[in-house]
Structure 1
Amino acid sequence: MVEVVGSDPQYDRFADEFAEHARDGLYNAHYDRPACLDLLGPVAGRRVLDVACGPGLYAEELVRRGASVIGLDHSPRMVELSRQRVPAGEFRVHDLADPLDWLPDASVDLVLFALAVEYVDDRVAALRELRRVLRPDGALVLSRLHPTGDWLRHGGNYFEPRIVEEVWSRGWRVRFWLMPLERTCEELHEAGFLVERLREPRPAAEAAHLDPTAHARLLREPVGFLAIRAVPDPRR
């Protein structure tokens, strides 16, 4: 039997609590969001697809910077929260197991896929759809749990993709894929992307007061996230 994460919208159960936590929390507001926004570059006047948009925190900043945002999430409650937070955006419920048949080819300038690839079973198919809707001169910015941090927590064979379940600090139970960095890069390659940049971000200095212990650890150990900017391979 092949392991799958499945199509359950896990974050729907704690969407409101997550929105409150992620708005100003160390890991989201002062670590992942700045890294992803930096890799996206200038967005004014550009059409951005926010994949797994969550409660609209990235979309809110993108719109503030002048972007036109289309968002999708598997959680109906997350989509509702995004619509409330970012009235200027367009948001819909969508499972990444399904094609983006509501978006034409080459119809977006940038794609943001933050902290959600671990929940997708057929990642190559999903990435191919993102490649299809992205303009040839566009870019995909993807962030994910740092695979070294995953391995330090769970042990086992680092190179063997497998599904794990964790209960996070607020009692949120999540089920997701552990994957080596090589697998993520190969899946991007299979989907028609070239990795342009890879970042192992450090948290913002001004956020140290939020959680001094976690902040200090993120400055010295690969236990948080990483972020990749990939571009369509013109040869394919």
Structure 2
Amino acid sequence: MTDMVGQEPQYEVFADEFLDHARDGLYNAHCDRPACLDLLGDVAGRRVLDVACGPGLYAAELVARGATVIGLDHSPRMVELAGHRVPAGEFRVHDLADPLDWVPDASVDLVLFALALEYVDDRVSLFRELRRVLRPGGALVFSRMHPTGDWLRHGGNYFDERIVEEVWSKGWRVRYWLAPLEQTCEELRAAGFLIERLVEPRPRPEAAAIDREGYERLSREPTGFLAIRAVPDPRP
């Protein structure tokens, strides 16, 4: 196995299925999405860059709350779905291995980067790009799979950064990085960010009616996600 996830847009082959899954599903709609939106705070009148925007579920919420949204995703089908869902947004296909050279310096108030960090090979370079496009006083909010949950599923050395391949319950085959929390914190530091808040999202109470077993598990075990709000380090 190589030491890169690579540049294939993995979600392209199941983009429509993912939309159906994430629209109202326990993990996305009742755990990660509300946590990220809470960390973003009041977005009315703000310009938000939605990185790895997927089918536009977060973007729709942001626009409904008064934000202007620019979105990007590696999957052309995801970008198409996002455009249909959020006509007021501006979306384009972009590989996160490439610089965001179409986004000017200090041009967005907030960056949202939900559940896609694991698919990026050079995360420090990407974080630096996200810091570059943020205006003074801006913030980055991102989420990732909980590293403890990853370790419980895959075993081995928790501190060993490595790539795994996994087939999820719907038959979706994915390839992504496992990395300890320490590594993510160090990558943020190297890119010039300070962590302002870190949360371990638990599902909202109404999610119990969707999946009681999953709701109870996510409410007591670190098998879901982490969400972090980071701000540019003002020190020289």
1:51 and 2:51 matched: yes
Contact 1:149 1:224 in 2 (8 A): yes
1:122 and 1:2 map into 2 onto residues whose CA distance is: 14
1:235 CA displacement: 1.1
Does the 8 A contact of 1:110 with 1:138 survive in 2?
Answer: yes
Any runs of at least 4 consecutive aligned residues in structure 1 with deviations exceeding 2 A, and if so which?
A: none
> Structure 1, residues 35-88: CA drift from partner, whole Å, max 9, x if none?
000000000000000000000000000000000000000000000000000000
SS in 2 for 1:141: strand
Match of 2:183 in 1: 183
Q: Where in structure 1 are there 5+ consecutive unaligned residues? A: none
Hey, what does 1:130 align to over in structure 2?
Answer: 130
Aligned to 2:105: 105
Which residue number in structure 1 is paired with residue 36 of structure 2? 36
In structure 2, distance between residues paired with 1:233 and 1:178: 26
Once residues 105 and 160 of structure 1 are traced to their aligned partners in structure 2, the CA distance between those partners, rounded to angstroms, is: 35
- Are the counterparts in 2 of residues 145 and 226 from structure 1 also a CA contact under 8 Å? yes
SS of 2:174's partner is: strand
Q: CA deviation at 1:210?
A: 1.1
Q: Does 1:156 align with 2:168?
A: no
Offset, 1:103: 0.7
Normalised by the size of structure 1, how large is the TM-score? 0.99
Q: Distance in 2 between matches of 1:28 and 1:39?
A: 15
Distance 1:164 1:204 in 2: 30
Distance 1:10 1:211 in 2: 27
* CA deviation after TM superposition for structure 1 residue 111, in Å: 0.2
Task: Report the equivalent of 1:91.
Answer: 91
Gaps in structure 2 of 5+ consecutive residues: none
Q: What is the distance in 2 between the residues matched to 1:27 and 1:14?
A: 17
* Preserved CA contact (<8 Å) 1:136 1:234: no
Alignment partner, residue 203 of structure 2: 203
Aligned to 1:215: 215
Q: TM-score, normalised by structure 2?
A: 0.99
Question: How far apart are the structure 2 equivalents of 1:150 and 1:39?
Answer: 23
Matched residue type, 2:201: P
Compute the displacement of 1:2 (Å). Answer: 5.1
Look up the equivalent residue of 2:48 and give its one-letter code: V
Q: What corresponds to 1:60 in structure 2?
A: 60
Secondary structure of 1:101 counterpart: coil
| Aligned match of 2:80 | 80
The two structures, once aligned, show a CA RMSD in angstroms of: 0.8
What amino acid sits opposite 2:27 in the alignment? Y
Matched-pair identity in %: 80
